[in-house]
Amino acid sequence: MIDTRRQDDASGDRRSDQPGGRGGKSVYLETFGCQMNELDSELVRGQLTALGYRFIDEPGDADVILYNTCSVREQAENKVLSRVGRVGIEKKDGSAVVLGVIGCMAEREGASMMTRYPQIDLMCGPGELDRLPMLLDNAMKTDAVEHADRIALQGNRTRRTSTLAAAEDDLEMLDLSRAFDPDRAAAGGRSAYVRITRGCNKFCTYCVVPHTRGAEVHRPPDHIVDECRRLADQGVIEITLLGQTVNHYIYTHGTSLTVDGREMPQVGPGLKAFRETNAAAGQRVTTFADLLHRIHEEVPAIERLRFVTSYPRDFTDDALAVMAASPRICNYLHVPAQSGSNRMLKAMNRGYTVEEYLEFIDRARAALDDVSIAGDIIVGFPGETEEDFEATKELIRRVRFKNNFIFKYSPRPGTVAINRFDDDVPFEVKRRRNNELLELQAEISAEVHREYVGRTVDVFVEQVSRRSQARQGNVELRWQQPQVQMTGRTAGDLITAFDLPAGFSPDEMIGRIVPITVTSSGPLLLTGHPAESPVPQ
Ligand code: SAH
Ligand code: SF4
Ligand code: F3S
């Protein structure tokens, strides 16, 4: 059976042979895509661990392989398809592994992917993850080789209808049941993500996310603050709030309640409605600024609070004011411009002009000391001329981003752009523009970094540097340079490297905030040494 509808009893009348279902079965989970997916993978891990599944780091011995997938560009999907292909060969050779494709690709492709790839046993979109254990249990009991009972759950498309509220409440339960595992979390268990909104209502013409993640939904503020508090109780000191347009967060109280009076997630307003809702009097609302303030005040153990991704429109002065007044909120903004040409921004349906973008950047720089600004740019959007491209270069120079993620336009099925515009910028041109922007951004990043030389910055230590990790694995190099290098980030998200102080192990440094005096810099990082001898903890 292949079923793309929401299934309330997809596992039929089958029962687990023991409570918790598949005790002892091993799962290999690989995550692609954005931080939302990383957080979803954490939820999946918690959910399945509680049911007795064991997570392993290599796919070789797994009973279950799960790919948590991304659809944002074709390349992201191709990575998954090559893995799926490999599992297909192994299954032909007799492997009985259960293969699940979850996340955005499962939502976008659904049953058609199962038809093309019979090795896939189950698919589950991001809006259906609360049902994954049931799906998996079902697949484990089915003869995986026969593929008698295969299910693809997609929910986000249908959830734009009346079922949204109830389904969102189920998803909310999954977020609330989060089993944070410090041993698996980043930076020695001291850094975590917290979702504040799901989905996206913006429908930029190139983007698949509104189709895969569904309507924009805002979580109740009490749930978010509680989650931050619980993470802090478990030792977390850095939290990154997540939302596709995170600064559009707004929760209107008293309008979305469960029958027992609990607040539940609520569908967010569209682009136009956002301003009107803000202006509406009489209803008690928690704005993005209010939410930042609450977390900062109510969970002071969080020493670093960040948020991604900001939308360049509607970033209010009160949110900037809260940032400026709150020492534990990082002066860091990831606020993608996408293009420096108004013609392109219009075709992309971004809803702002270059002038409005720059006005926001000026406001942010005026309000926030040392604010670090990062962004995303798409090159080769349909119709992009050399003139449009030059305008993007100009924007990059003007804003002086600390870094930019630069992407070549990739037409995505289901989006407006693929239907309306020819992908008419040749690949070679996309590649050249991409490289030119990488070069330009590297120059600007190097300039931004240079301004920090001689200063002392607080660095949240994350890991042994990649270079040191490589050296550790290479006996000859280890002999040449026994010194271990650590890396971490400043409040403005600048990557900073320093030598591990004598007498400390890497684990003793990871997850701490250490003052580092910057002695040199390059396009990628700052380098320095501890400003004072670290105190053992
Ligand atoms: N919500 C965020 C971005 C989410 S997707 C925002 O609006 O800023 C992350 C980035 O992928 C986007 O900022 C965009 O630069 C890039 N992207 C999205 N769709 C793309 C496509 N079809 N081709 C190339 N890049 C794309
Ligand atoms: Fe995609 Fe635009 Fe939504 Fe960002 S705001 S997720 S780019 S549709
Ligand atoms: Fe990719 Fe889905 Fe994130 S498409 S970028 S994993 S929201």
Flag whether the pTM goes above 0.85: yes
Phi, psi of 405 (to 5 degrees): -90, 125
Answer yes or no: is 343 within a domain.
no
Answer yes or no: is 54 within a domain.
yes
- How many angstroms does the Cα of residue 172 sit away from the middle of ligand 3? 19
Q: Which strands form 332-334's sheet, in the order they lie side by side? A: 332-334, 372-379, 403-408
Using a CB cutoff of 8 Å and minimum separation of 24, what contacts does 229-235 make? 229/298, 229/299, 230/178, 230/180, 231/180, 231/192, 231/194, 231/302, 232/299, 232/301, 232/302, 233/301, 234/180, 234/182, 234/189, 235/182, 235/189, 235/190, 235/511
Residues 135, 263 share a domain: no
Answer yes or no: is 522 within a domain.
yes
Residues 205, 304 share a domain: yes
More confident residue, 207 or 168: 207
Average pLDDT over residues 305-332: 97
In this structure, the strands spanning 372-379 and 332-334 are parallel
- How many angstroms does the Cα of residue 352 sit away from the middle of ligand 2? 13
Answer yes or no: is 506 within a domain.
yes
pLDDT the model gives residue 1:
38
Average pLDDT over residues 312-340: 97
Please give the share of the chain, as a percent, with pLDDT higher than 70.
87
Does residue 75 carry a pLDDT above 50?
yes
Report residue 255's pLDDT band, with 50, 70 and 90 as the boundaries: confident
Answer yes or no: is 294 within a domain.
yes
The atom number, within ligand 3, closest to the CA of 126 reads: 2
pLDDT the model gives residue 100:
97
Does residue 330 carry a pLDDT above 80?
yes
Boundaries of domain holding 226: 169-176+187-330
Which of 202, 309, 378, when mutated, tests ligand 2's pocket best, judged by the most ligand atoms within 8 Å of its CB? 202
- How many angstroms does the Cα of residue 235 sit away from the middle of ligand 2? 33
Cis peptide before 490 (omega within 30 of 0): no
Distance (Å, rounded) from C-alpha 102 to C-alpha 179?
19
Q: Where are the beta strands (DSSP E) in 130-280?
A: 151-153, 191-195, 197-198, 217-218, 238-242, 250-252, 266-267
Residues 243, 120 share a domain: no
Does residue 329 carry a pLDDT above 60?
yes
What is the CATH classification number for the domain harbouring 56?
3.40.50.12160
The atom number, within ligand 1, closest to the CA of 334 reads: 8
Average pLDDT over residues 33-61: 94
Residue reference for tokens 């697949």? 139
Distance (Å, rounded) from C-alpha 526 to C-alpha 519?
8
For ligand 3, whether the C-beta of 69 sits within 6 Å is no
| Residue ending a domain, choose from 313, 330, 347 | 330
- How many angstroms does the Cα of residue 455 sit away from the middle of ligand 2? 37
Average pLDDT over residues 204-216: 95
Answer yes or no: is 437 within a domain.
no
* Total number of domains constituting the chain: 3
pLDDT tens digit sequence for 465-519: 977 777 666 655 555 556 899 999 999 999 999 999 988 999 999 999 999 999 9
Query: Residue 456: is it exposed, middle or buried by C-beta count within 10 angstroms (0-12/13-18/19+)?
Result: middle
The C-alpha angle with vertex 261 and arms to 281 and 247, in degrees rounded to 5, equals: 45
Residues 305, 224 share a domain: yes
pLDDT tens digit sequence for 7-25: 333 333 333 334 344 558 9
Residues 82, 34 share a domain: yes
Does residue 360 carry a pLDDT above 80?
yes
Give the closest residue (by CA) to ligand 1 atom 1: 244
pLDDT the model gives residue 144:
45
The atom number, within ligand 2, closest to the CA of 309 reads: 4
Answer yes or no: is 488 within a domain.
yes
Q: Are 156 and 164 in contact (CB under 8 A)?
A: no
| Residue ending a domain, choose from 288, 309, 330 | 330
For ligand 1, whether the C-beta of 248 sits within 6 Å is no
| Residue ending a domain, choose from 330, 349, 370 | 330
Residues 219, 116 share a domain: no
Does residue 452 carry a pLDDT above 80?
yes
User: Alpha carbon 214 to chain centroid distance?
Assistant: 15
Query: What average pLDDT does the chain have?
Result: 88
Output the six-digit token pair for 176. Answer: 């609330």
Single out the residue of 245, 197, 212 nearest to residue 77, CA to CA: 212
Please give the share of the chain, as a percent, with pLDDT higher than 90.
74
- How many angstroms does the Cα of residue 128 sit away from the middle of ligand 1? 23
Residues 310, 193 share a domain: yes
- How many angstroms does the Cα of residue 202 sit away from the middle of ligand 1? 12
Task: Please report which ligand is nearest the Cα atom of 212.
Answer: 3
Residues 119, 219 share a domain: no
Answer yes or no: is 460 within a domain.
yes
